Chains A and B, each alone.
Chain A
Amino acid sequence: MKEVLTFLARRSIQGIFVVWGVITTVFLFRVISPTNPAQLMAPDDASPELVRQIEEDLGLTEPIFVQYVNYVIGVVQGDLGFSYMTNTPVLRRILHALPGTLELAVAALLFAVIVSIPLGIFSAMYRGTKIDSTSNLVSLGGVSTPNFWLAIMMVLFISVQFGLLPTSGRPIGLGEATGLLVFQGDFGGLSSWVAHMILPTIALGTYFMALLFRLTRNGVLEEMGKEYILAARGKGLPEPLLMYRYVLRNSLTPVVTVTGLQLGGLIGGSVVVESVFAWPGLGTLFIRSLNVSDWPMMQGILILVGAGYVLTNIAVDFVNAKLNPQVDLA
């Protein structure tokens, strides 16, 4: 237990430095960026005086070091500043966009894991058969299909042609939907949530599914060729026990690592899938902020993404250590 606590403490401190690095880097980008946010905020026909007025209002006329210190102090106090574009707190916008992105990220990963791992094992067990070659072909397709194309095709056929699922949007969040069900007995919210989740989840999850499938299949194959498995089989260990207790467990390390890293990446939101499905998530928010040089918003999102990576990495190392005693928490 003590070992775990030391591990968490050390990694958290490292994480704080990583996030601080992110803050500083992004801030430096802002400093060297040639665009003037005040100019972009001002109407097209704004006078130079109005632009200067806006610069002053934004605090852009202060020395850079003062701006930096003010910003870092703000972040430490949980204040990410105000969006240049909307004059509303960055945190409020991020908190509004975060659930959509998280729901989609988790759903896509669950979809990927639930489909890929059994399929990977199955494929490895029946190596060289038609099952194996079919799943390989499917996974090759999954890895090489651009997700925006898959998304557009699914919408065209499933939503527009057959009207089976909504084309886009996120009219209700999971929390709200559950609330409706629990407090008002209204199933509509939840079914709406599910209906709107299906296509984006598949579009976002297919690539990971294919990737994890290949990792699982290769891992299992490699493990199955090892001598201890031969020995265990020779000893008469039942096949399912052998498979799940030994082979799978020992081949999962790369799968967990990749899953964790992908989740870290997904926390920033998928710009492409979010825009095809008009999904109000962090990816959309980020790209919009980028287009208008809304630096406070970009900084806020990047800090969150940085923190997300740090957290998932800690979790991955932790899970890997639990799965494989050879991996040390140190």
Chain B
Amino acid sequence: MRYVGGTAAAGTAFLAGCVGSDSEGDDGTEGENGDDDDGGNEDQGLLSEVEIILSSAGADTVDPHQSAGIPPSSVTTNSYEGLLARGPTGEIEPRLATDWYRVEPGQYRFELREGVQWHEGGELTAEDVQYSIRRIIDDDVDITSDRQGHVIGIEDVEIVDEYTVDLVSDGLNTAIETSTASYLGVVILNKEWVEGNDLETVNTEMNGTGPYKLVDFVEEDYAVFEPFDEYWGDPPEFDEVTYTGVTESATRVNQLLAGEVHLIETLPPADVGRVREESDLSVTSRPSSRVVHGVMDITVEPWDSKEFRQAMNYAVNNEEYIENVMQGFGTVSTQPALPEMFGYNPDLDPYPYDPERAAELVEESGHAGIELEFSFGVGRMLLDTEFVTAVAGYIDDLPNVSCEVNELDLTTFGTLWNDQHDPDEMDFFAVGYGHPSYDASQTFQAIVLDDRVGRFGKVESEEKDEIQSLIDQAANTEDPDDREALLQEANTIAREEAVWLFLHQQESVYGINEAFDWEPRNDELMTTVGSGPAE
């Protein structure tokens, strides 16, 4: 929490500053909060100021169009809203749009909420929506947006009247709802404000429509919000919301244990017990949208062999390492899609743990006696060193394969992974891919069919064409049941082809103070929208 002095800001109790106190109001500064206009919460002993600790550096910018990361979105979703949004388990909810429907293929209509106020005054109009979407999809409007890959198939926006817009696309574009509901997709900014300010201002200040308005922000450090009184929806429940980025996990845990903060991201499983012991704290977790898998560079041996890829999947005992190494915080992965996604095939089983079958398949593939290196970048996935070591261990246990762990720093890993990819340096590596779109086709496009870095789609094959055609068909199928069947079929083929070394769906683990009523989300977003003090 930022200390701003007793009278400088309404409702700022002396919390972080007070020595050894973990409840506000017992240090004599409470009296100075007289200008606290809705301080009723504090009188009832309810939490009125909430401090949230992110495990990354925090937001690098508060311009949502210039970042497509989860941590910045956790911060910006307090102020900026999209046309639609997702609830904690992925259900679509209205935000700035009240009604949305397809007028005809290629034309999707959104009716906007009327009377929505911007933080700095003025009302939301169709022009703002048009400008915001163009700012994302069109390089010639202001910036080249990081979000282009998240707003799929939208070619332009037409204004029908002041409160109605049509999103135009070529073809049916079944991904429109996904793109407009994802917090990494369409987010609406104020046209006049963005155009009237320089980029630095847009990067560090906000003028949104959301329940909280930004009062103080330092990039990659902290952001402080206050309630916006003219919010169109349910009134915000906190007098102050602070986000701080703390990369050191021990520090986050200590902050929570000392009662200084209310919610911490990525509680290390080793500290779960310490947090559970405290009566006012609890541990909460939720399967995330992050699918952890081993990429096998299909352009080189031995990974061009389907038998060898399958052998790796048979060799790893996912359940055992999740239970013992991940302390249960993970779910065995059976296919590219996650259970929460549209197009997930519930009939598929994970590859069973069968080292004998694996050894046979290795023999069949003709690569017996091969030496492998399983690489990863340290620090991106929960307990990465631990589970990568375990997985490499299982593979190494095969009689005819040896496998070592290759631990890389994130920068080196990122470079090897991307533009300077060289299979000689790295052809087998673990990554976690998260995408909050809840649609399997997105996963397929991005990390199965993609033609980069030895992904399955890099090499032409019958199966690749088959998956591609299923995904393409799905994109042009309006009936949800038919669409789902197509995507499920794609998952079945992908599993059989062993397009990845299927590992696990990562869980997000949080430590939370029970005074804060907050629900973890599948999409890892840590927004305060929809949360409040515990009764």
Where the two chains meet, the residues of A that have a C-beta atom closer than 8 Å to any C-beta of B are 34-36, 39-40, 42-48, 50-51, 53-54, 57, 83, 85-89, 93, 96, 152, 155-156, 159-160, 162-169, 171-172, 176-177, 180, 184, 186, 188-189, 191-192, 195-196, 275-278, 280, 285, 288, 290-293
**Are B415 and A46 touching (Cβ within 8 A)?**
no
- Among B18, B68, B415, B446, contact of A192 (Cβ-Cβ < 8 Å): B18
With A86-B203, A171-B3 as known contacts, state yes or no: A191 contacts B248, CB within 8 Å. Answer: no
**Are B2 and A171 touching (Cβ within 8 A)?**
yes
A contact residues around B366 at 8 Å (CB):
none
Where the two chains meet, the residues of B that have a C-beta atom closer than 8 Å to any C-beta of A are 1-3, 5-8, 14, 16-22, 29, 32, 57, 60-61, 66, 68-69, 139, 144, 146, 148-149, 199-200, 203-204, 218-222, 244, 246-248, 250-251, 254-255, 257-260, 409-412, 414-415, 418-420, 433, 446-447, 450
Can you list 11 residue pairs at the A/B interface with Cβ under 8 Å? A40-B411, A43-B69, A45-B447, A152-B250, A160-B254, A163-B22, A169-B16, A171-B2, A172-B3, A189-B3, A189-B5
**Are A189 and B17 touching (Cβ within 8 A)?**
yes
Expressed in whole angstroms, the Cα–Cα distance for A162 and B259 within the complex equals 12
A contact residues around B410 at 8 Å (CB):
291
Expressed in whole angstroms, the Cα–Cα distance for A302 and B219 within the complex equals 20
- Among B17, B68, B246, contact of A43 (Cβ-Cβ < 8 Å): B68
**Are A43 and B255 touching (Cβ within 8 A)?**
no
**Are B29 and A188 touching (Cβ within 8 A)?**
yes
With A188-B5, A275-B247, A276-B250 as known contacts, state yes or no: A164 contacts B19, CB within 8 Å. Answer: yes
CB distance from A81 to the nearest CB of B (A): 13
**Are B221 and A166 touching (Cβ within 8 A)?**
no
B contact residues around A280 at 8 Å (CB):
218, 221-222
CB distance from B244 to the nearest CB of A (A): 7
**Are B200 and A89 touching (Cβ within 8 A)?**
yes
CB distance from B245 to the nearest CB of A (A): 8
- Among B22, B218, B246, contact of A168 (Cβ-Cβ < 8 Å): B246
Expressed in whole angstroms, the Cα–Cα distance for A155 and B247 within the complex equals 16
- Among A48, A184, A291, contact of B7 (Cβ-Cβ < 8 Å): A184
With A35-B411, A35-B415, A275-B251 as known contacts, state yes or no: A88 contacts B258, CB within 8 Å. Answer: no
**Are A188 and B144 touching (Cβ within 8 A)?**
no
CB distance from B200 to the nearest CB of A (A): 6
Least CB separation from B57: chain A residue: A288
Least CB separation from A190: chain B residue: B17
- Among B255, B257, B419, contact of A36 (Cβ-Cβ < 8 Å): B419
**Are A191 and B5 touching (Cβ within 8 A)?**
no
Expressed in whole angstroms, the Cα–Cα distance for A46 and B66 within the complex equals 13
**Are A186 and B7 touching (Cβ within 8 A)?**
yes
- Among B204, B222, B248, contact of A88 (Cβ-Cβ < 8 Å): B204
CB distance from B28 to the nearest CB of A (A): 9
A contact residues around B2 at 8 Å (CB):
171-172
Least CB separation from A57: chain B residue: B144
B contact residues around A196 at 8 Å (CB):
16-17
**Are B7 and A166 touching (Cβ within 8 A)?**
no
Expressed in whole angstroms, the Cα–Cα distance for A304 and B215 within the complex equals 30
Least CB separation from A41: chain B residue: B146
Least CB separation from A51: chain B residue: B419
**Are A166 and B16 touching (Cβ within 8 A)?**
yes
A contact residues around B146 at 8 Å (CB):
42-43, 46
CB distance from B269 to the nearest CB of A (A): 19
CB distance from A17 to the nearest CB of B (A): 31
* Closest 8 A/B residue pairs (Cβ): A192-B17, A171-B3, A172-B3, A86-B219, A163-B20, A167-B254, A278-B246, A171-B16
CB distance from A135 to the nearest CB of B (A): 29
B contact residues around A45 at 8 Å (CB):
149, 446-447, 450
Given contact pairs A50-B144, A93-B220, A171-B17, a sample of 8 additional A-B residue pairs in the complex whose CB atoms are under 8 Å apart: A45-B149, A85-B219, A85-B220, A168-B251, A169-B260, A171-B16, A276-B248, A277-B251
B contact residues around A83 at 8 Å (CB):
219
**Are A278 and B244 touching (Cβ within 8 A)?**
yes
Expressed in whole angstroms, the Cα–Cα distance for A51 and B60 within the complex equals 19
**Are A191 and B57 touching (Cβ within 8 A)?**
no
- Among B6, B259, B409, contact of A188 (Cβ-Cβ < 8 Å): B6
**Are B450 and A165 touching (Cβ within 8 A)?**
no
**Are A87 and B200 touching (Cβ within 8 A)?**
yes
**Are B219 and A93 touching (Cβ within 8 A)?**
yes
A contact residues around B219 at 8 Å (CB):
83, 85-86, 88, 93
**Are A169 and B220 touching (Cβ within 8 A)?**
no
A contact residues around B17 at 8 Å (CB):
166, 171-172, 188-189, 191-192, 195-196
Least CB separation from A187: chain B residue: B29
A contact residues around B255 at 8 Å (CB):
167-169, 278
Least CB separation from A38: chain B residue: B419
Least CB separation from A165: chain B residue: B19
CB distance from A61 to the nearest CB of B (A): 14
B contact residues around A188 at 8 Å (CB):
3, 5-6, 14, 17, 29
B contact residues around A85 at 8 Å (CB):
60, 219-220
With A85-B60, A188-B14 as known contacts, state yes or no: A167 contacts B415, CB within 8 Å. Answer: no
**Residue among A53, A155, A293 with the highest chain B CB neighbour number at 10 A:** A155
CB distance from A75 to the nearest CB of B (A): 20
Expressed in whole angstroms, the Cα–Cα distance for A218 and B245 within the complex equals 44
A contact residues around B409 at 8 Å (CB):
291
Least CB separation from A36: chain B residue: B419
Expressed in whole angstroms, the Cα–Cα distance for A169 and B477 within the complex equals 53
Least CB separation from B32: chain A residue: A186
**Are B258 and A39 touching (Cβ within 8 A)?**
no
A contact residues around B68 at 8 Å (CB):
43
**Are B411 and A291 touching (Cβ within 8 A)?**
yes
**Are A34 and B415 touching (Cβ within 8 A)?**
yes
B contact residues around A44 at 8 Å (CB):
433
Least CB separation from A96: chain B residue: B218
Expressed in whole angstroms, the Cα–Cα distance for A285 and B410 within the complex equals 17
CB distance from A279 to the nearest CB of B (A): 10
- Among B1, B8, B250, B411, contact of A292 (Cβ-Cβ < 8 Å): B411
CB distance from A159 to the nearest CB of B (A): 5
With A43-B149, A53-B144, A88-B204 as known contacts, state yes or no: A160 contacts B257, CB within 8 Å. Answer: yes
CB distance from A152 to the nearest CB of B (A): 6
Expressed in whole angstroms, the Cα–Cα distance for A264 and B262 within the complex equals 38
B contact residues around A42 at 8 Å (CB):
146
CB distance from A116 to the nearest CB of B (A): 27
A contact residues around B203 at 8 Å (CB):
86-88
Expressed in whole angstroms, the Cα–Cα distance for A88 and B63 within the complex equals 12
A contact residues around B257 at 8 Å (CB):
160
With A46-B149, A165-B20, A192-B17 as known contacts, state yes or no: A275 contacts B248, CB within 8 Å. Answer: yes
Expressed in whole angstroms, the Cα–Cα distance for A87 and B66 within the complex equals 9
Expressed in whole angstroms, the Cα–Cα distance for A91 and B435 within the complex equals 34
**Are B419 and A53 touching (Cβ within 8 A)?**
no
Expressed in whole angstroms, the Cα–Cα distance for A34 and B1 within the complex equals 39
